[in-house]
Amino acid sequence: MASLLNRPFFRPVDEARNRLMLQSAQGATLEVFVLEEDIVRVRVLPDGKPHGPRTWAIAPGMDDVPLEGRDRLDLSGFARPRYVSEITPDCMRVSTSKIRLTVRLDGGFCSWEINQDGEWYVAMEDRPTQAYNFGWWDERVYHYVRRLPGEMYLGLGERAGALDRANQSFRMTNVDAMGYSAKSTDPLYKHIPFYLTWRAQTQTGFGLFYDTLADCTFDMGRELDNYHGHYRHFVADHGDLDYYFIASAGTPLDAVRRFTWMTGRPALMPKWGLGYSGSTMTYTDAPNAQARMNEFTDRCAEHDILCDSFHLSSGYTSIDAKRYVFNWNREKFPDVEGFVNRYLEHGVKLCANIKPCLLRDHPEFEHAQREGLLIRAADGEPAWVQFWDEVGAYLDFTNPATVTWWKARVTDALLRYGIASTWNDNNEFEIWTPDAFAHGFGKAFPAREAKVLQTLLMMRASRDAQRAYAPDKRPFLVSRSGCVGMHRYVQTWSGDNATSWETLRYNLKMGLGLALSGVSNIGHDIGGFAGPAPEPELFIRWVQFGVFMPRFSIHSWNDDGTVNEPWMYPELTPRIARLVKLRYRLMPYLYQLLHDSSARYEPVLRPAFAEFPADPQCYAECDDMMLGASLLVAPVVEPGRRDRQVYLPAGARWFDYWSGEAFDGGQTVTLPAPWDAPVMLIREGGVIALNVAQQHFGQRADRRAFIVAPMAGEGSVSAQYVEDDGETLAWREGACGTWRIAVQGGLESLSMTVDRDGDKTFLATTIELHLPAHESRPIVLGAGRIVADTRDGGWRTLTVDLGD
């Protein structure tokens, strides 16, 4: 055990390929990697040796990493810019145009500065007393950082409680937290050790990513110790201290984009994945499951509920009361082919539930054990775990043979029947014993040291099976658990939430936390998964909120045996149907946000202060969010309300989606909030793409329109929207078109141009432009002609013929 009195004194020993190394006489090593102008990495090795595995998180601008992981000294994909390094007797200083890192040689204390508009600001400093664990305490990894007044801490993925994580502590170990409190439960399902520090006063901040697969803890100021001043800290159960500092000046979104880029390109999923997805455990648990499932499409047709997919719960795999992945219960589903085809004929894809644990009496358990496909105990026997109502063993996805087996079963049990996608569920890999071992691609390690790696490789194996089976189609996958890198593969949701108004309110914040952590294709179980049936008011308010989330699914396992369905309250069913159609009306806008997430690493959801960092009122705790940069959404999250107060950020006018009324920013307004018209406001300068065609269940149509919110006087507006087939990979070869809308406002007229670029197969010749009804300036078109100019309520609609 090293002594606190023997604090390491570092000396420079190497500098090559944007990697600078300091080492102490005792062998401790501190490495600095200059990766980008705004990204610098530090790795601290107390004995000079790496103890962590390879990385599966770092994939700058890439679709993926090697199956066996990426070497931590591999710097490919990073720009590795020129930098300046200076050595004095006391410190080493490394500078790029945006970051200046000073490392004190006595102890390795780091101080980080950010350049904003030519002025350097101190962004982060290590705690001057014992910032690292150089073998002083135990085998864990520590990083202590000074905490300054006025700092906000955002991110850490899916966390309960307020959006600002200040003065809270969190445990990052994935568990099956069914019925959790969205206000207080910790830990939850996901492992994303990334967060933003933001200072509203100076509009400066940074992202901090700890590249670890270990269970870890973040304390954001809840802990106090008089000997050290105010601090926050990160503690990992094992591995190395390996962290990335990402500068973010002007807006916190800069660091979010760069972190997302650094950890890989978000998957562009098929457009139908944005549609309403039905689900409930009740149907597949029923003895006549196929008949119950068929009733769902009948009811959708009866009530004209638009639907694109259905999440097929695990009851289809049952033998008696237990579940056996990849098994079909032929008593419940006597005609699997006919069942799947009936759904496809209605335009509804099936997303089948799959689980990574084989119960000990699973039909294929002995084969899996014999072939070494399971996580094993030290004596070679399966590493037993509790899973649902039985004992079983997890499959080991660090064994390539397991990956091959899994892909074959996904194909044979699901894809060949026409099932379009996989729902990777119950994949937290709750392994707690130190005596369970993973294959580790030939280098075995204790399985509990990388549980989330198993989760990531499971969803990757499912993705690869879908790619191989339908190579021209975009895979669609869902996963409940996950870690950094999951956005490259799956859509996710906030797990098995409890039915309550509190959950509705805090799920909104939970979704923002995920989006600020690089995971944008997200949603929640509408109505609540666990507990009693939602009361009518809670249910419809939850649907109102759900129509704005990328994942839009009503799902439940209610304690009282009821089922959350669109028609569960007959008096509300017509309103629910209208809300679902509102979702489909907004689909072109949502689809472009997913394109922007994949191509430009933009978060789909964001708090208002991320778009308006100079407005101090936007930092107040609230229940609003921005959907993209142009739409402000204000759900009703408390009972008995028929209106909604909403603060409108300063610096823009805002247009009520329903009335077209304009409001100046910088004020709080009270707007009507009826049950079938959620509060939504369009930002001045925004352009929202819509599908204004009449759609019915099983009968789809598409007619493009654009809401244009012009500047009041002089000013310009521009936007672009991608159109493609929404399902295949042909867009990569140019099979797509782009709308480009530009508006130049003047005191006397509005000049509007609508250009169509690319493959015009996907671009209509007639569109609608919707402007606020009070917009009376003459319209000058750059191309095409106005064939109709009408007013309906608060909106003025121009029908434009663009010609050939």
pLDDT tens digits, one per residue of 257-283: 999 999 999 999 999 999 999 999 999
Instruction: Enumerate residues 6+ apart whose C-beta is below 8 A from 60.
Output: 35, 77, 78, 261, 262, 264
- Cα 67 from Cα 70, distance rounded (Å): 8
- Taking residues 408-421, report their average pLDDT: 98
Residue 158 shares a structural domain with residue 181:
yes
**Is 71 a domain residue?**
no
Confidence of residue 15 (pLDDT cuts 50, 70, 90): confident
Residue 32 shares a structural domain with residue 131:
yes
**Is 372 a domain residue?**
no
pLDDT in the model for residue 4 = 59
Residue 576 shares a structural domain with residue 609:
no
Residue 193 shares a structural domain with residue 246:
yes
In this predicted structure, the answer to whether residue 1 has a pLDDT above a threshold of 50 is no
The helix-helix angle for 451-469 and 400-413 (nearest 10°) equals: 50
Residue 617 shares a structural domain with residue 648:
yes
**Is 600 a domain residue?**
no
**Is 468 a domain residue?**
yes
Instruction: Enumerate residues 6+ apart whose C-beta is below 8 A from 789.
Output: 779, 796, 797, 798, 799
- Cα 437 from Cα 380, distance rounded (Å): 9
**Cβ proximity of 721 and 271 under 8 Å:** no
Structure tokens at 170: 């969190």
Nearest to 691 by CA among 582, 794, 594: 582
- Cα 673 from Cα 581, distance rounded (Å): 18
Please report where in the chains the tokens 């509920």 appear, as a residue. 305
- Which of 636, 651, 681 corresponds to the end of one domain? 681
pLDDT tens digit string along 204-235?
A: 999 999 999 999 999 999 999 999 999 999 99
Residue 468 shares a structural domain with residue 508:
yes
pLDDT in the model for residue 28 = 96
**Cβ proximity of 217 and 171 under 8 Å:** yes
**Is 16 a domain residue?**
yes
**Is 175 a domain residue?**
yes
Mean pLDDT score of the chain: 96
Q: Which structural domain range is residue 529 located in?
A: 275-355+408-430+450-585
pLDDT tens digit string along 293-304?
A: 999 999 999 999
pLDDT tens digit string along 62-102?
A: 999 999 999 999 999 999 999 999 999 999 999 999 999 99
The helix-helix angle for 573-585 and 289-303 (nearest 10°) equals: 80
Confidence of residue 388 (pLDDT cuts 50, 70, 90): confident
Q: Where are the beta strands (DSSP E) in 129-275?
A: 141-146, 151-155, 169-172, 190-191, 194-199, 204-210, 216-219, 231-236, 241-249
**Is 511 a domain residue?**
yes
Residue 154 shares a structural domain with residue 286:
no
What is the reported pTM?
Answer: 0.97
* CATH code of the domain in which 629 resides: 2.60.40.1180
Instruction: Enumerate residues 6+ apart whose C-beta is below 8 A from 66.
Output: none
- Cα 500 from Cα 538, distance rounded (Å): 8
pLDDT in the model for residue 17 = 84
pLDDT tens digit string along 487-518?
A: 999 999 999 999 999 999 999 999 999 999 99
What separation in angstroms does the CA of 750 have from each of 651, 765, 776, 780?
21, 21, 9, 6
Contacts of 299-303 spanning 24+ positions with Cβ under 8 A: 299/565, 299/566, 299/567, 300/346, 300/348, 300/566, 300/697, 301/346, 301/697, 301/698, 302/567, 303/566, 303/567, 303/573, 303/574, 303/576, 303/577
- Which of 216, 232, 262 corresponds to the end of one domain? 262
Query: What's the structural domain count of the chain?
Result: 4
pLDDT tens digit string along 130-158?
A: 999 998 899 999 999 999 999 999 999 99
In this predicted structure, the answer to whether residue 631 has a pLDDT above a threshold of 80 is yes
Residue 468 shares a structural domain with residue 537:
yes
Structure tokens at 293: 């499932």
Residue 135 shares a structural domain with residue 159:
yes
Question: What percent of the chain shows pLDDT beyond 90?
Answer: 93
- Cα 29 from Cα 8, distance rounded (Å): 9
Residue 248 shares a structural domain with residue 297:
no
Task: Using DSSP, state whether 766 is helix, strand or coil.
Answer: strand
Residue 307 shares a structural domain with residue 219:
no
Which one-letter DSSP state was computed for residue 361?
T
- Cα 333 from Cα 327, distance rounded (Å): 11
Burial profile 378-396: b = 16 or more Cβ within 10 angstroms, e = fewer: eeeebbbbebeeeebbbbb
Residue 180 shares a structural domain with residue 214:
yes
- For 343, the enclosing helix (H) or strand (E) is helix 336-345
pLDDT in the model for residue 45 = 97
Q: What are phi and psi of 3, to 5 degrees?
A: -100, 145
Handedness of CA 795, 659, 775, 738 (dihedral sign): negative
- Cα 336 from Cα 800, distance rounded (Å): 48
- Cα 452 from Cα 450, distance rounded (Å): 5
In this predicted structure, the answer to whether residue 412 has a pLDDT above a threshold of 60 is yes
pLDDT in the model for residue 2 = 52
pLDDT in the model for residue 3 = 60
**Is 69 a domain residue?**
no
In this predicted structure, the answer to whether residue 308 has a pLDDT above a threshold of 50 is yes
pLDDT in the model for residue 793 = 86
Radius of gyration of the chain (CA): 27
- Which of 233, 262, 291 corresponds to the end of one domain? 262
